Structure 1
Amino acid sequence: MSNINIRPRRELRIATIAAAAAVALGLCSAGTANADTVVPLPGGAITKTLADGTEVTVTMTDESATVSPSMGSTPLHRNVWVSGSAKVEISGGSGAEGGSIEPGYIVGCQLALGGETGADAGIGAEWKGAAEPAAGGAGTVSIGPGEAASFPILDLEEADDFGGESHSGEHSFEGASGSVTWADSTMGVEGCAGYAQARSYVNVTVDTENVMSTVTLWGQPFSIG
């Protein structure tokens, strides 16, 4: 089993990230960003059977978010620390050769990111038609009203074929199981002049002797103010 633990350094916090406007969301279970607010999240699990009979189970546990006020006190900035653990187990079929685990978050500004968890939860009709700006540098995403962005948790470095640095948001594993744990990963959101939501996802790509397939587990949406 291949495991990885991610614990980013606190210096990734950005001094200019400010508190969000306190707008409650009916679909979410979280509080607002007027003070540090710890949001426990339920995680989830899914099991999918691939075409060759291979059974893939993805679970997410110990998921939480801490919505933190910033020093600037402007409604355009938010800061969130996220934690969780994802695990994949593969059985049956033609035999597991390994795969990869990619955890991350979808962040939306004035968008509904859906309300259910699991494999078929999706991310809401509004998101599907929204713009998809890329994540910004230094642990931030920049989005405006009606926009959403993906925020990868992992940033794994390795040498490429030419001796330079290569970065990846996927943790590779061999065999029938693998896991990833992240703790207090900083996620800054800039530019959203309205309510903002986030929800976790875990993309697991599995290789067997006959099939390559990706299984996605969605977490529960939560408000970040």
Structure 2
Amino acid sequence: MSTEQTEPTDPTEFWEQRYGGSGRVWSGNPNPLLVREVADLTPGTALDLGCGEGADAVWLATQGWTVTGVDISQIALDRAAAHAADAGVADRTTWERHELGTTFPSGSYDLVSAQFLQSPVALDQDGVLRRAAEAVAPGGTLLVVMHGGWPSWAEPHEHSVPHATFPTLDEVMTVLSLPEDEWKTVTLEGVEGPSTAPDGRTGTHVNNVWRLERSGSRSSGS
């Protein structure tokens, strides 16, 4: 009888197991492309989709944003709340558990950020991206960053992930189908950067960036 353990395919079970299996999964630092793209924006309200352990949301809060962080894993959200408290921005952050694609946070936001919203288990990525755009308030920004493919150090056998998808720049624009008279494209590019494997192998990785601005004026309360 085989004793090999398989990872769960249910999204909630998968991510709770992923976060519960270690003390920390991510570095605790904000994604550099988020920092690059948001640095020139006036802080307001922000929605961080797939926030994980909260590094991006906490960084945004330290820059003056009022942030709602969303994730499927309660373990990750608890760590995010602790990170915010340690950083002194608990009063600027709110945490909500959603299985995106099934439920979605209410309201509209001056910034909606989806950083690497890619999953090895089932995720309605297209549907989530469309709802993300709908959640952008007039005068607000949609920022999406995704891996553009496997890192250069990855071996062929490491690519057998059933639900892994790497949409192109044009494919995401087609999925969003945003009216040209209501949206302006600010950034649309692939950015190559260094990448290191868990075992120390090094190489490069291309990340795609979509930054889109909705027409209109931001509310005075932002």
Range into which the TM-score falls when normalised by the shorter chain: under 0.3
Return the TM-score normalized by structure 2: 0.23
Q: Which has more helix, going by share of residues?
A: 2
Structure 1 or 2: larger strand share?
A: 1
For normalisation by structure 1, the TM-score amounts to: 0.23
Point out which structure has higher relative CO (alpha carbons under 8 A, 6+ apart).
1
